[in-house]
Amino acid sequence: MLVYWRGSGVLWRLQGSSSLRDVPCKWNGSIWLREVNHSPLTVRVTCYRRMSSLHRQLNQLGGTWMRRVKFSLYPTAGIYCRTLCSRTSDSDPIEIHKRKLVQWFSHLPQEEKQFGGYFTPETMHVDPLIVEKQPEERSGVLRSPLQTEAPSSPSLTVEQLFEPSEAWSRDRGLNVLLYGAVGTGKSTVVRKLVLDWCAGTTLTHFKLLVPFSCEDLAQLNKLTSLRDLVSRKYLHLRNIPLLSGVGDQAKDVLFLFNGMEKMKLDFRVGSTELCSDPGEALLSGAVVVNLLRKYLLPEASVLVTTRLSALDRVPQKYVSRYAQICGFMDPERQRAYFTSRLLQQSGDDPRTRDAQALIELLYLNLQRESQLAAACFLPSYCWLTCATLHFLHFTEAQAPIRTLTGIYTSFLRLNFGGEVLGAGARAGQPAQEQHSSLMLYVVRTVGKLAFDGVTNKRTSFSEKELEQWVGGETKTDEELRQLAVFRTDVLDFFLVPCVKSGKGFPGEVSEEDERRYVFAVPAMQEYLAALYVVLGENKSALEKLTKQVSVAIGQAGEDVNALITILSKFIPLRIFAVFNLLKLFPKVYEKISSRNKGSIARTMAAEMFRTEDSFNEDVLDQVEQSLLGVHGPQPQQHDERQPFELYPIFMGGLLHYGNRIILQQLGCSIKSTTVAQITHALRKHLVRELGKPHPPEELMDLLVLLYEFQNPRLTAEVLSSIRTIRLTNVRMTPLKCFVLSSVMSCAPASYHLEELDLSDCHLTTELLKMLWPAFRHTRNLNLQFNSLGPESCILLQELLLDPKSSIRSLQLCDNPLLESGARTLLEALPDNQSLRQLSLMHTGLGDQGARELAERLHQHAGLQELNVAYNNIGDSAALKLVDACREHPSIHTVHLYLNPLSDVGKQSLYVRGVPVNQDGSSRCVKVLASVTEGSDLSEDWHPILSVIRENASTWDRDRLRQQLQVFLRDLEWGRQQQPSFWKRLHFRRVEKGVRQTLRMLETDTLSKPTGYTK
């Protein structure tokens, strides 16, 4: 009888009915039970091991167990063993391996979660262009689609990379070398390949896929075999026969080595010994070399990804096929990528429509062969573009805090996280600097170039300037090698040829027109320049000298003090007084360094409020225009030089703790003392600058700076010097509203703005919700010219009922509130005691709304001024409203001009505004119904005309023309009633102003509304 037992991942073998020693036991209470079922007979072996007599039984049986055998002619219901040798999927190492890989490779980095957190690689992935290259073509430099023609080779899929090659033996696996520049999507392709293999949609002829990170392998210093190397990372593959080397089983195995440039591979026979045994221990680099040589598992296939600088590390004879990842060489791939990122869901909701509009604008900008198209052939810059647009347009109050500086910092970590440049050991160089961070090298070279451009207001650079700033001080062979790698792999990632260089495109550069280079994304220049300054790389000659002296003295300080202590026993101490001067150098250096930090803060404040930038759009609109382009009329340029308004904002954002942590991971450390010194000096400079008047766009930029800083204490101290925030005509977006609310939330509960002017800011009901924290710190709130409908009044009602609200003046002119909206708003009057001025001019009240307002006025005892002008209110409703105001204890002014009032009605309103009794039983209420009051001029005729002039561009022209003609008739009648020559002259002066306004209305030369405060 031959029985196979499978349990707990071990296959047991039993041959013959008399030998049951290898059959495992099953614990059941206080006994061990063994069962072997073999149809049609059932062999049940039960072994009792009672704990109380275990030792005695072992002695009697000579270390053997007592067995009881029972035979049954009928099969039992409980089957503990099967006579099958196949494994179930739960314990199959290949299936376990696939599940593990799916878990590992489906994990998204933190940077990806800002798109909503529910994306999967399948929905986000867009295949980049992969083309096969001949060996003689492999050294060609990757170029942007605007510089070169379309690839001559057809596009390949990952599946086609492993089709057998005619030049390669069929009894051997294929070695495929997949290379590309930084940011072309190598890691993304690898991740998608692994997940598709696990899902069974690609490379199905490989039973086993074993991915490795060359960065991890480079850290291994111990000798290890291939089998141990695999089992070290994938424990479930410890005993898999596919890696045993027996027969040709390895033909079903694909090894994947990602990032070969991070390993030092030596294919010389004298340096790397030959090995064909998967169990022989070697260095990790030697294992990879022997796999590529086909000495080790020759039937296995190998896929290697690398950058351009490491392309020649693998000799050509060991490579079956070269393939280059070319990124997104056509706008259609870019559009597909943008759609997968920005268009999160289907439907007809406002967010989906906004996302579709963004995608269309992006696509139009790419089709125009803009600078963005030259950058977005790299998928990494497509990611940065989507992240920035998602930040600008889809910021939500409930989402985690994100900043523009944080997006760019995360972008650099995604592309250069943990990478170092081996600088080699040099005399006098500290050990920790022998392997400098790649990002720090970028800052010291490209960042220095960016800083020079920002300082001199330049965005393009010549090849000579690149040679000067990038690697101009290299001396040793190791530095030259390091520079060569940097130029090949990294420099083109940041700098690309200018799309429009002088007279034509890059391909048409003439001899007298030198080729120029720009940063792939304009904001990247300002970011790297800010990082260069904040890291302290922009040191003066005096600071560099004092630092070197301070470091030298600090290293020798202990030895000098010990020597002085010994010699002082034999020689008077005053002779060594000169040595005490050595202790002054560190203090001098600290003093100079602190002054340098103060200059950084002064630079930030000066760059924030440059006079020449006061005519520009706010900084967030500039970022959006750099990505989407400017469609329609080009904005007027007041200065030919490029504005760098993101530069100081990035400097502030880099001081945030979260960004400093990421930069520290990149090898760029910003000390806390540096942050404290810059912050202390920045507060003084900002407070001094805020004492001057600034345009709304500059104030918006200041709010963005405080938001990027993410320092509540600094924000509260700066806000304490601000009493008025006027953002008139600033196009408020969800992000800008969130920025304003976040900044205002840092202020203490006792802080209040005297005025928050948000007139003509394109506000909606959703934006009002985001602005709620800012409204709580405001006394005078101006929301004019925002097209707020009746639904917005629900939020305004809640605002007036909020016990933490202290709004005294609420301006709602030119918002279509209608009667229903006004009714909702008036319901808050009984429980609100702070409101003093309410402006409902041109809100569509009508007669019914005016009557309801008259009925509710007595419920609010604190109201002092009411503006219901231009609301189509007739005589009857106007008289009722004025009567209610006369009975009100505090209202002193009512605005009723531009309403269809008759001459008799206006005269009645004027008479009712005058008190009847002198004992105070009837109050005096100023009624502004026209530019005249009876036969006299109104004291407020000039504000009335100013309101008409400022709002005429948005109001009904015919209606205004009729009202102005009524004013002229009233003025003419009043002038005729005046016996005084000087009064008649004054009437003519007002008539001249009304006629001038009428002519401006007819010739369409009236100015755009700027927000009237009444």
Residue 123, pLDDT score: 58
In the predicted structure, residue 887 carries a pLDDT above the cut 90 = no
Question: What ranges in 641-764 are assigned the alpha helix state H?
Answer: 646-654, 657-665, 672-689, 696-709, 712-719, 734-745
- The pLDDT, as a whole number, for residue 954 is 67
Check residue 934 and give its pLDDT.
65
**C-beta of residue 859 within 8 angstroms of C-beta of residue 899:** no
- What confidence category does residue 616 fall into, taking pLDDT thresholds of 50, 70 and 90? confident
Residue 835 and residue 861 in contact, taking contact as beta carbons nearer than 8 Å = no
Say how far apart CA 985 and CA 992 lie, in whole Å.
11
What is the arithmetic mean of pLDDT over 346-363?
Answer: 79
The pair of three-digit structure tokens given for residue 427, joined into one six-digit string: 């005399």
Least confident stretch, 51-65, 665-679, 776-790, 868-882: 51-65
Query: 92 or 476: which carries more pLDDT confidence?
Result: 92
pLDDT class for 66, splitting at 50, 70, 90? very low
Question: Cα(83)–Cα(1) distance, rounded to whole angstroms?
Answer: 11
Helix (H, G, I), strand (E, B) or coil at 487: helix
Give the residue-averaged pLDDT of 729-742. 93
Contact status, residue 337 vs residue 188, Cβ threshold 8 Å:
no
Question: Where would I find the H helices in 129-174?
Answer: none
Kindly tell me the burial class for residue 470, based on how many C-beta atoms sit within 10 Å of its own C-beta (0-12, 13-18, 19 or more): buried
Residue 239 predicted with pLDDT over 70: yes
Secondary structure (3-state) at 548: helix
Residue 198's pLDDT is what?
94
pLDDT for 440 beyond 70: yes
Task: Give the phi and the psi of residue 470 in degrees, each rounded to 5.
Answer: -105, 100
Residue matched to tokens 């059959």: 23
pLDDT band, very low/low/confident/very high, at 167 (cuts 50, 70, 90): low
Q: Scanning the structure block, which residue is given the tokens 């690609």?
A: 202
Q: Which residue is associated with the tokens 């509304």?
A: 1009
| Region of poorest pLDDT, from 22-31, 143-152, 745-754, 945-954 | 22-31
Going from the C-alpha of 396 to that of each of 345, 733, 767, the distances in angstroms are 17, 11, 10
* CB-CB contact of 536 with 596 (8 Å): yes
| Residue 463 pLDDT | 86
Q: Which of 589, 608, 700 is nearest to 651 (CA)?
A: 608
Strongest mean pLDDT among 386-400, 580-594, 638-652: 386-400
Q: For residue 510, give both structure tokens.
A: 């003439």
Predicted local distance difference test score (pLDDT) of residue 811:
92
Mean pLDDT of all residues in the chain? 76
Q: What does R_g of the chain's alpha carbons equal in angstroms?
A: 40
- What is the DSSP pairing of strand 809-811 with strand 837-839? parallel
- Mapped to the 3 state alphabet, what secondary structure does 748-793 carry? CCCCCEEEEECCCCCCCHHHHHHCHHHHCCEEEEECCCCCCCCCHH
The pair of structure tokens assigned to 920 is 């105070």
Residue 1006, pLDDT above cutoff 50: yes
Q: What angle do CA 379, 382, 385 make, to 5 degrees?
A: 160
Start-to-end Cα distance in the chain: 104
**Residue 694 · residue 976 · CB < 8 Å:** no
pLDDT of residue 151: 56
Average pLDDT over residues 140-149: 45
State mean pLDDT over 148-166: 74
Cα–Cα dist 374/385, whole Å: 13
Closest listed residue to residue 280, CA positions, set 220, 222, 225:
225
Does the structure show a pLDDT above 60 at 541?
no
CA distance readout (Å), 741 to 3, 396, 802 = 75, 12, 17
Sheet with 67-72, side-by-side order of all strands = 26-28, 31-37, 42-47, 67-72
Token readout for 854 is 């008259």
Residue 80 has pLDDT above 90, yes or no: no
How much is the pLDDT for 615? 61
Would the pLDDT of 1000 be above 60? Answer: yes
In sequence order, which residues have a C-beta less than 8 Å from that of residue 975 and are 6 or more positions away? 983, 984, 987, 988, 991
CA dihedral 787, 788, 790, 794 (to 10 degrees): 180
Half-sphere exposure of 275 (CA within 13 A, CB side): 22
Residue 34: pLDDT band with limits 50, 70, 90: very low
> Is the separation of the CB atoms in 899 and 869 below 8 Å?
yes
> What beta strand segments (E) does 419-527 contain?
420-422, 435-437, 460-462, 495-497, 516-519
Q: What is the pLDDT of residues 179-228, one digit of tens each?
A: 998 888 888 899 999 999 999 999 999 999 999 999 899 888 899 999 99
What's the residue count for the chain? 1014
As given in the structure block, the two tokens for residue 461 are 């650079």
Catalogue the E-assigned strands of 10-149: 10-15, 26-28, 31-37, 42-47, 67-72, 130-133
pLDDT of residue 35: 38
Distance CA 19, CA 40 (A): 19
Whole-number Å distance between alpha carbons of 521 and 450: 12
Contact assessment for residue 250 and residue 226, using Cβ atoms and an 8 Å cutoff = no
pLDDT at 408: 94
Q: Which among 900, 1006, 901, 947 has a CA at the least distance from the CA of 785?
A: 947
pLDDT at 758 over 90: yes
* Percent with pLDDT over 90 in the chain: 27
Question: Is 545's pLDDT higher than 90?
Answer: no
pLDDT reading at 870 higher than 50: yes
Q: What pLDDT does residue 783 have?
A: 94
- Of the candidate ranges 128-142, 870-884, 896-910, the one whose mean pLDDT is the lowest: 128-142
Q: Which two tokens stand for residue 706?
A: 């405080």
In this prediction, residue 738 carries a pLDDT of 94
Of the candidate ranges 369-373, 488-492, 1010-1014, the one whose mean pLDDT is the lowest? 1010-1014
List pLDDT tens digits, range 921-938: 556 788 888 877 766 767
Look at residue 804 in the predicted model and tell me its pLDDT: 85
Strand order in the sheet with 926-928: 724-726, 753-757, 778-782, 809-811, 837-839, 865-867, 893-895, 926-928
For the segment 85-132, what is each residue's pLDDT rounded down to a tens digit? 344 456 889 999 999 999 888 877 777 766 655 455 555 678 888 888
| pLDDT grade for 447, boundaries at 50, 70 and 90 | very high
What pLDDT is attached to residue 503? 37
Model confidence at 52, pLDDT cuts 50, 70, 90, reads: very low
Nearest to 247 by CA among 303, 195, 152, 171: 171
Lowest mean pLDDT among 72-76, 315-319, 544-548: 72-76
pLDDT class for 72, splitting at 50, 70, 90?
Answer: very low
* Higher-scoring residue by pLDDT: 278, 567: 278
Average pLDDT over residues 353-366: 84
Q: Which residue, 901, 957, 954, 891, is CA-closest to 932? A: 901
As a whole number, mean pLDDT of residues 841-856 equals 90
